[in-house]
Structure 1
Amino acid sequence: MPVKEINFVTSNALKLKEVRAILGNNSFCNFKLLHYSLELPELQASPTEIAINKCMTAANVVQGPALIDDTMLTFNSLNGLPGPYIKAFIAQIGLEGLVRILTDFQDKSAQVSCTFGYTEGPNHKVHLFTGTINGKIVAPSPYLDTSQSSWGSIFQPDGYHINYAMMDQDEKNKISHRYKALMLLKEYFMKQANERLD
């Protein structure tokens, strides 16, 4: 059976590194993952609409199968904010500003979610696969380079006493929001491959 090529469209080198580390290599279930570096625009809309729009835009750019990754960090006390706008929040107020937002709230719980959007190409259906990890917001560690670790240095997953940025990368890749989403995507590709064999 021929290998089908899929373009993973992202400008984020860390996302690409994690995806490759979790999958083990660039090929799985008769699919080969190619990297296409591009900063995709994001709608000011619901998380589902944002992921679908990014995936459709990516498919139109590459004119073929496309895969995108959209990540959210949501605070329960803020009814889901900053959510898909986490990047803009960090750019405007920084990590310490994000932590200060919750100062007057007793509830510091949060979730981080990763949604992979996949489509076979322009004008095809977009399939979404979401993985979520629960945790809480903590003060960033003073000895971490927060410019590199991004929001990971203020998110502590449930069951751990350290934040995301302090975790061993291999350990994180076995429990992360991205891992959970990728396993759902992999399951979908396996099902597709098996159906082609029938």
Structure 2
Amino acid sequence: MDHSNSIDADAGVAPGMIFLPRNIVTFVSGNPDKRNDAIAILSPYTDIKLVDLDLKEIQGDEKEIAKDKCDLAMKLFENEIVIVEDTSLRFTEFGGMPGPYIKHFNKTVGADGLYKMLFCYSDKSAIVRSTVAIGVPKHLTNDGLRQIHIVSNNLKGEIVEPRGENGDKNGWDPCFKPAETFLTLGEMDEKERRKYCSRVGALFQATKVLLNIFNQNMDASKNEENGSGIELNN
């Protein structure tokens, strides 16, 4: 994968890269698959600084967790636009559980255990939900206050007996089959998986938020250069 538009937090600025603070975002995640998806989707629109860091997660719903993680990231990188992502797996039969706690469920029982949880139930439908939070520092907002924008994307499918060894290293991709295909996420190569990946859809939504932020600040810079909006007292 071409990483020419990304910046590794430990490597500093890539050679020859022009540093434009408002056109660089900091993506914070300890998950390499999330970081790779961020590079693939966001890099055509902005330069990316990657930070390999697992942020502490509170108990709550997807939006509450993503917002709190974003707030933590903004405190660590207070002058930067930051992005965090949280993925949940919601079983219809269980009223949306395990939801945002899927990481902990999966560590305990694995993909095979998740499949067995629904084995005796007729309804094996599930939704993968990706929630992305974009944190904007106060010097880049119109009102001078920090902002957190939340976007999300759902992928409908069902839980099946695990198949395949590809996909997210968290390990439950082999037991999730999107509704519009016969393949599990674990059977897909990276290119095919991104056609269905809920995280990719949420990151595409995030690009719209980023472009709006960049355009607003570009307009503000032009106004300052032209002297508009500046009041002079004689």
The answer to whether the superposition gives a TM-score over 0.5 is yes
Q: Which structure 1 residue ranges, 5 or more long, are not aligned?
A: none
- 2:194 paired with 1:179: no
Instruction: Look up the match of 1:170.
Output: 191
Q: How far 1:144 moved relative to its partner?
A: 3.0
- The alignment status of 1:34 with 2:49, answered yes or no, reads yes
Deviation at 1:41, TM superposition (A): 0.7
**SS at 2:171's partner residue?**
helix
Partner residue in 2 for 1:102: 118
* RMSD, matched Cα: 2.2
Corresponding residue of 2:176:
155
1:17 equivalent among 21, 29, 36: 36
- Equivalences for 1:1-198 in 2 at 5 Å? 2-4=20-22, 5-23=24-42, 25=43, 28=45, 31-64=46-79, 65-121=81-137, 124-141=146-163, 144=165, 148=169, 150-198=171-219
How far the C-alpha of 1:167 sits from its partner, in A, is 1.2
SS in 2 for 1:193: helix
* Percent of aligned pairs sharing the same letter: 29
- Please say which structure displays the higher CA radius of gyration: 2
Deviation of 1:45 after TM superposition, in Å, equals: 1.1
The alpha-carbon deviation at position 19 of structure 1 amounts to 1.8
What is the distance in 2 between the residues matched to 1:12 and 1:164?
Answer: 17
Using the TM superposition, give the Cα deviation of residue 3 of structure 1 relative to its aligned residue in structure 2, in angstroms: 5.0
Highest RCO, 1 vs 2 (Cα 8 Å, sep ≥ 6): 1
> How far does residue 57 in structure 1 lie from its aligned partner after superposition?
0.5
SS at match of 2:59: coil
SS at match of 1:150: coil
- Structure 2: gaps (5+ residues): 1-19, 139-144, 220-234
SS at 2:177 equivalent: strand
1:125, distance to aligned residue in structure 2 (A): 2.1
TM-score by length of 1: 0.88
